[in-house]
Amino acid sequence: MSYPEARYLGESGEASGRLRPATLGPDLVIGKDPGTRVHYLGTGASTNGAFGLYRWEMGPRPGGAHPHFHRTITESFYVLSGAVSLYAGKEWVEGTTGDFLFVPEGGVHGFRNESGEPASLLILFTPGAPREGYFEELAAIAAEERQLAPEEWTELYLRHDQYMV
């Protein structure tokens, strides 16, 4: 394993870091009462395509992602608090604070909060795909209480590199 090719070619560095204070509210809420609060910590756009990092705060109601895979991105999960069911392709296991799951491209995975208590995790995508577009579409569907036909779900998933299994 070696370092990737240089992406910065300047000689002296630059002041280019960006702080996102923890006091900022969520960028998106999916569902109702209290729903899932999503914080866009680092989007693909803000990291120059390097990664996408999101804090996912789930309320006590069951919710999450059914088993699926991606062709173009990896996905990693780090449980911050509570209990989150994680699927790594073979079985669901209970992830608790400090547990980490890495899923390479093509790896079947999913996550759910079925504990009846709030739970939070970090979700990391590499490289930084525009996942917030997908999250925002899900939020709009939930807010409008729309029922999508199977072919509409398939089209939505395909636009966002999401292949359900």
Give residue-wise pLDDT tens across range 4-24. Answer: 999 999 999 999 999 999 999
Give the homologous superfamily in CATH for domain 28-164.
Jelly Rolls (2.60.120.10)
Give residue-wise pLDDT tens across range 61-84. Answer: 989 999 999 999 999 999 999 999
pLDDT of residue 32: 85
pLDDT of residue 65: 95
Q: What pTM, to 2 d.p., does this model score? A: 0.94
pLDDT of residue 67: 98
Tell me the domain boundaries of the chain.
Answer: 28-164
Angle formed by the axes of helices 150-159 and 131-143, to 10°?
150
pLDDT of residue 33: 77
Residues of the chain with pLDDT under 70: none
